[in-house]
Amino acid sequence: MHVAVRKHFTHNTDIGQNFLIDGTIAAFMAERAELCEKDVVLEIGPGDGALTRALLRTPLSVLYALEVDERLRGCLENIASRDGRCRPVFCDALRFDYKSGLDALPSKIIANLPYHITTPLLWTLLEQLAPLGAEYMLLMVQKEAAARMASAAGHKDRSPLGITIEAMGEAEVLRLVPPSAFHPQPKVMSAIIEIRISKNRNIANDKKWRRLLAASFSQRRKTLCNNWCAGLGASGMSRDKALEILSRHGLPPLARAEELPLEKWFGLMEDPAFVLNASEKEDKNVLES
């Protein structure tokens, strides 16, 4: 049935419908995840089920397949009728309540993510599922998004999401995936990234952590000092105070956000000089950009 779907289906590229057609990539992801009988897996954006079927060839316990496009209901329900471990859920992954919407909480998330919502979706998963025990993610994302998630301190691709993932565990880009692995072919290279969550499971929800990162990255070309002065609170932060904070943490006056190692972010988070006077909406816009 999936072949027929690919042949006659009109893909909605506005919601990132680039179906995986390379079976070797699906098999690689299913094998890499090392799934066992106790694993409850969440897949987001299954499309016509190429990765879904590969995952069901493992001994996993339950596979929740979240899909926003009702046109794919027949295809996914056909897969579920053949394997009761597959449970399609038709919803918007950004708006879904993962805590109450699933009968069992997923320990692993394996997905070919819609590229246009990768960053906000990752924040949602870290906020909702990491505190509840999710420990592993294996994701297909745009190559540039993978770089932002896995870049170390000092790299130009360093990002608030990547720093938060590092604070919670570790991320590794495993391999690149060419456009030919999908239909229709995207105009970008993709990458498979592996994320392991092992600590600080609630930090993605910490308002001060989010405020600090949002203020520090509000304008990438500016220094921390300039960003803090412009963005921390309705009245901002004085330059003298910003320089004092930098000095207290052993940072130079012209330090930029992408340069800081993780321990410096933890130190700044504990500094009482930072206050929470910005709106969550403003922070969200920066963190999810």
**Residue where a domain terminates, one of 173, 203, 233:** 203
Q: Which residues contact 46 (CB under 8 A, 6 or more apart)?
A: 52, 65, 66, 67, 72, 76, 88, 111
pLDDT at 190 over 70: yes
Top pLDDT among 236 and 242 is at 242
Range of the domain at 247: 206-287
Element (H, E) at 276: none
- Is the same domain home to 125 and 211? no
Domain total of the chain: 2
pLDDT tens digits along 118-143: 999 999 999 999 999 999 999 999 99
Q: What is the CA radius of gyration of the chain?
A: 20
pLDDT at 247 over 60: yes
**Predicted confidence band of residue 174 (pLDDT cuts 50, 70, 90):** very high
Q: First-to-last CA distance in the chain?
A: 37
Q: Find out whether 109 and 41 touch, Cβ atoms under 8 Å.
A: yes
Amino acid, single-letter form, for residue 72: L
Among residues 108, 14, 100, 9, the alpha carbon closest in space to that of 49 is found at 9
Break the chain down into helix, strand, coil percent, rounded to 5: 45, 15, 40
- Is the same domain home to 132 and 251? no
Distances (CA, A) of 28 to 69, 140, 269: 26, 12, 39
- Is the same domain home to 172 and 223? no
Q: Find out whether 26 and 54 touch, Cβ atoms under 8 Å.
A: yes
Interval 198-219 mean pLDDT: 94
Strand partners, 89: 66
Q: Quick one: pLDDT at residue 7?
A: 57
Strand partners, 86: 63
pLDDT tens digits along 18-64: 999 999 999 999 999 999 999 999 999 999 999 999 999 999 999 99
- Is the same domain home to 133 and 237? no
CATH code at position 245: 1.10.8.100
- Is the same domain home to 176 and 274? no
- Is the same domain home to 210 and 198? no
- Is the same domain home to 19 and 74? yes
Q: Quick one: pLDDT at residue 226?
A: 93
5: tokens are: 């779907």
SS3 (DSSP) at 46: coil
pTM: 0.93
**Residue where a domain terminates, one of 176, 203, 230:** 203
- Is the same domain home to 73 and 171? yes
- Is the same domain home to 178 and 236? no
Strand partners, 62: 40
Interval 269-282 mean pLDDT: 74
- The C-alpha atoms of residue 172 and residue 196 are separated, in whole angstroms, by 9
- The C-alpha atoms of residue 29 and residue 247 are separated, in whole angstroms, by 45
- Is the same domain home to 105 and 210? no
Q: Quick one: pLDDT at residue 3?
A: 47
- Is the same domain home to 59 and 118? yes
- The C-alpha atoms of residue 137 and residue 122 are separated, in whole angstroms, by 10
**Residue where a domain terminates, one of 203, 224, 241:** 203
- Is the same domain home to 140 and 82? yes
SS3 (DSSP) at 192: strand
If you search the block for the tokens 């929470």, which residue do you land on?
276
DSSP letter assigned to residue 185:
P
- The C-alpha atoms of residue 268 and residue 263 are separated, in whole angstroms, by 9
If you search the block for the tokens 């690149």, which residue do you land on?
176
DSSP letter assigned to residue 2:
H
